[in-house]
Amino acid sequence: MAANDEDDDDDEDTETGWTAEDEEEFRTELDKNGDGVLDKDEIYHWLVPNDYDHIVDESNHLFAEADDDKVSTSF
């Protein structure tokens, strides 16, 4: 086992730990106003994306956990 096996992403910046993909995502998706930092609204949209419905996800999770015979319908 090599000493650096946990970090198998060759593109990762050793100082920041960010990959080129991380930086691209930050610039194009997260930093909406392009000022180089995330303000509270940008952080909120990062943590709670508009295209993800937590209620539906939790409902599906609860039904899956409660459904003993695993015959269920997801929303």
Specify the amino acid at residue 1: M
Residue 15 interacts with Ca ion (CB under 5 A): yes or no: no
Contact call for residue 33 and Ca ion (CB under 5 A): yes
- Applying CB under 5 A, does 28 fall inside the site for Ca ion? no
Q: How far is the CB of 70 from Ca ion (least distance, A)?
A: 44
Contact predicate 12/18, CB 8 Å: yes
Q: Pick the binder of Ca ion from 12, 31, 45, 46 (CB under 5 A).
A: 31
The C-alpha atoms of residue 14 and residue 12 are separated, in whole angstroms, by 6
The token duo for 61 is: 């999770």
Question: Does 72 participate in binding Ca ion (rule CB under 5 A)?
Answer: no
How many chain residues are in contact with Ca ion, going by CB under 5 A? Answer: 3
Q: In this structure, what token pair is assigned to residue 31?
A: 């930093």
